[in-house]
Amino acid sequence: MKRFKAETAIVSEIVEELLHGGGAVGISGLFTPEEIAEARSIVMEYSEQAAEKVTHFQGAAQEEGKLNLQRRVWNLLAKGAIFERMATHPKLMEILRAFLGTEFIMGSIAANRILPGGPGQEPHVDYPYWDFHKPNTHPVGLNASFPMNAQVSILLDPFTEESGATGYLPGSQKELRYPTSEDRFFERCERMTGEPGDVALFYGATWHCAMPNRADHDRSAILIQYLPKWVKPMEDMPAALPQSVIDEAHPDLRQLLGLNYPYPEVLDAAKAGNTEGRQ
């Protein structure tokens, strides 16, 4: 995985690597140890109990009775201001504006905590939704020639091969399809390793998955999905947030919540007059 430092990251190089290179990059120096500790503390608080939550790509874990070893924390914007700061980090916003268009939105922000002994996921894509294992439900000719998704993982724990650092197949984003057993993903994949505070930024069409945690410590990360403004997001985040968060939202957060984009709109009730066009 090609790696960058926050102060020297060149946006055009990152966009090129995501679209035409390996499909993933690492960026260090975006978040302080104090910010990571604050985020991790909140995630631990909300995931200490093994309450069942909706999850994805964990069929084997469910069959083995190990779903309790993977714990999700959803709706992070309602659980701490640190997560708004993470989602709207200026360097991430700069990169994503170049990759997804200047008015991109956020589809989800959640935490994924895999405890020691937790199994990994099946290899999958997030482009732009989780259900591309049913390709016939998507339009014919759908391809990855332009991005409709970007994923950001902010590492809260050391991501090593032993702890189950995300596996991915470099270059797989160039051909949009769901991986199969014939692709020998686990024999060919590389890892998104890193230290707490590092960011793994990747194109969601890249084949990837969490790997089994065989270490003696947790493997936790903040997972953020970003989308072009016209893609229907997975989470209805405005509906899940207190009105006070929306009322006080920074302009960048309003953009990420899709509040700046009027569609879909009840046009029969819309204000009269010309609202679209260059003039």
Query: Quick one: pLDDT at residue 65?
Result: 62
Q: Is residue 49 very low, low, confident or very high in pLDDT (cuts 50, 70, 90)?
A: confident
**Domain presence at residue 221:** yes
Can you tell me the distance from the alpha carbon of 230 to that of 103, in angstroms, rounded to the nearest whole number?
Answer: 9
**Domain presence at residue 274:** no
Q: Is residue 129 very low, low, confident or very high in pLDDT (cuts 50, 70, 90)?
A: confident
Q: Is residue 127 very low, low, confident or very high in pLDDT (cuts 50, 70, 90)?
A: confident
Can you tell me the distance from the alpha carbon of 91 to that of 109, in angstroms, rounded to the nearest whole number?
Answer: 17
**249 or 69: which carries more pLDDT confidence?**
249
75-82 mean pLDDT: 95
pLDDT at 53 over 60: no
**Domain presence at residue 68:** yes
Query: Quick one: pLDDT at residue 145?
Result: 93
Question: Per-residue DSSP letters for 99-127?
Answer: HH-TT-EEEEEEEEEE-TT---PPPB--S
Query: Quick one: pLDDT at residue 168?
Result: 98
What residue numbers bound the domain in which 250 lies? 2-269
Q: Is residue 51 very low, low, confident or very high in pLDDT (cuts 50, 70, 90)?
A: low
**Domain presence at residue 279:** no
Query: Quick one: pLDDT at residue 56?
Result: 61
**Residue 2, both tokens:** 């090609």
Q: Is residue 131 very low, low, confident or very high in pLDDT (cuts 50, 70, 90)?
A: confident
Specify the CATH number for the domain of residue 167. 2.60.120.620
54-68 mean pLDDT: 60
Global pTM reads 0.91
Number of domains in the chain: 1
Can you tell me the distance from the alpha carbon of 32 to that of 39, in angstroms, rounded to the nearest whole number?
Answer: 11
Can you tell me the distance from the alpha carbon of 263 to that of 143, in angstroms, rounded to the nearest whole number?
Answer: 24
Q: Name the CA dihedral angle for 238, 242, 245, 246, rounded to a multiple of 10 degrees.
A: 40
Can you tell me the distance from the alpha carbon of 82 to that of 102, in angstroms, rounded to the nearest whole number?
Answer: 23
**Domain presence at residue 276:** no
Q: Is residue 67 very low, low, confident or very high in pLDDT (cuts 50, 70, 90)?
A: low
Q: Is residue 57 very low, low, confident or very high in pLDDT (cuts 50, 70, 90)?
A: low
At residue 89, the 3 state secondary structure works out as coil
pLDDT at 42 over 60: yes
Sheet holding 167-168, edge to edge: 190-191, 167-168, 208-209
Query: Quick one: pLDDT at residue 221?
Result: 97
**Domain presence at residue 275:** no
Which residue do the tokens 């993982």 mark? 153
pLDDT in tens, 176-204: 999 999 999 999 999 999 999 999 999 99
Can you tell me the distance from the alpha carbon of 115 to that of 29, in angstroms, rounded to the nearest whole number?
Answer: 26
Q: Which residues does residue 155 pair with via DSSP β-bridges, in sequence order?
A: 221
Can you tell me the distance from the alpha carbon of 133 to that of 56, in angstroms, rounded to the nearest whole number?
Answer: 12
**Domain presence at residue 278:** no
CA torsion through residues 156, 158, 163, 164, sign: positive
Burial class, 271, CB count within 10 angstroms (exposed 0-12 / middle 13-18 / buried 19+) = exposed
Distances (CA, A) of 198 to 13, 155, 195, 236: 18, 6, 6, 27
pLDDT in tens, 213-271: 999 999 999 999 999 999 988 889 899 999 999 999 999 999 999 999 888 888 888 88
Q: Which residues does residue 110 pair with via DSSP β-bridges, in sequence order?
A: 223
